Amino acid sequence: MTKYFSLLKYELKNLTKDSMNLFMLFYPILMAFITGFLAPKIANLTNTNPLVSSYIYLVLFLMSLTIGPLIGGVMLGFSLIESKDERTINSVAVTPASIKGYVAFKSIYCTIISFFGNIAMIYAIKLFSGDTLNIITFGGMSGLFDNFGLWKILLFSFSNSLLTPAAAMIMAAISKNKVEGFVVMKSSGIIFILPVLMLLPFFNGGNQYILAFLPHFWGAKSVYNSLVLSQSSADISFVLYNIIGIVYSAIFIVGSFWIFNRKLQVST
C-alpha cells in the first residue's frame, strides 16, 4: 500500500505541473462561470425568450457535466499512450508498483478528482446563478436545481466520474501510438456532444434509446429527466439510469484495460 501512497504524494506534488491535472482542476470553475454567471447575464441583457434561454441553460448544463470527465479521460489516455511509446512507463516496472498497478492508480486518482470536481462544479453553478437559471419543465417554469437534490448529485457524480477512466482506457486500447491517439482525440469531439440530442422532440419516449450506446447518455438522461420532470412511459428511474451507466462504464474500463495491458506486454 505504501507504494501507492508514494505515487499519490508524487502526483500531488506535481499537481500544478501536469496539464491533465490543471484541466481537471480549472474546468469546473470555468464552466461554472460560463453556465452559472455569463449565460444568464447575457440572456437577461438581450431579453432572450424564456423558451430559448431554457434550452440554452439545459444544453450548457448537460455539456458542462459530461464533457469535462470525457476530455479528462482522453487526456489521461493520450498520456498513457505517450508513456508507452516513449517507454517511460517501463520505468515503473523497476519500482515497487507494477505497470498494471500504476495504470490502475492513475485511473482511480483521476476518477476521484473527476468525482469531486463534478460536485464542486454543480454547486459553483448554483452559487453563481442564484435564482436566475429558470427552465421550462413539463410542470411549468422551474428553477434548474429545484428537482436536483444532494443524493441525486452524489449518485450522478459517481456515475459520471467513471467516464474518465472509461474514455482513457478505450483510447489507450484502440490507439497503437501517439499519432493514432491524436487522431482519436481529435475525432471524438462529436461523440462528446451527442447526448445533447436528447433535448430534441424526436428523442423523447422510446427513441431516446437510440443514444444508449453512449456511456455518457445514461447519467445525462437521468439529470435531464429530473430537471424537466419528464413523464414519458419509456423513461426509467433516476437510480436505474445511473446504475446502467455505472455498469456500462465498468465494462468499458475492464475490457479496455485488459486490451491495453496486453499491448504493454507485447511492447515490452
Share of the chain above pLDDT 70, in %: 85
Q: Is residue 41 included in any domain, yes or no?
A: yes
Q: Is residue 188 included in any domain, yes or no?
A: no
Q: What is the mean pLDDT of residues 30-55?
A: 90
**Which residues, other chains included, contact 204 with Cβ-Cβ below 8 Å and sequence gap of 6+?**
230, 232
Q: Is residue 84 included in any domain, yes or no?
A: yes
Q: Is residue 24 included in any domain, yes or no?
A: yes
Please give the C-alpha separations between residue 185 and each of 26, 166, 190, in angstroms, as whole numbers: 20, 14, 11
Q: What is the mean pLDDT of residues 192-199?
A: 86
pLDDT at residue number 18:
67
Q: How many domains, the chain? A: 1
Q: What are phi and psi of 135, to 5 degrees?
A: -125, 155
pLDDT at residue number 3:
62
Q: Is residue 262 included in any domain, yes or no?
A: yes
pLDDT band of residue 4 (cuts 50, 70, 90) is: low
Q: Is residue 191 included in any domain, yes or no?
A: no
Q: What is the mean pLDDT of residues 243-257?
A: 94
Judged against a pLDDT cut of 60, whether residue 250 lies above it is answered with: yes
Domain that holds residue 232: 2-182+206-267
Largest CA distance in the chain: 63
Q: Is residue 200 included in any domain, yes or no?
A: no
pLDDT at residue number 247:
97
Q: Is residue 242 included in any domain, yes or no?
A: yes
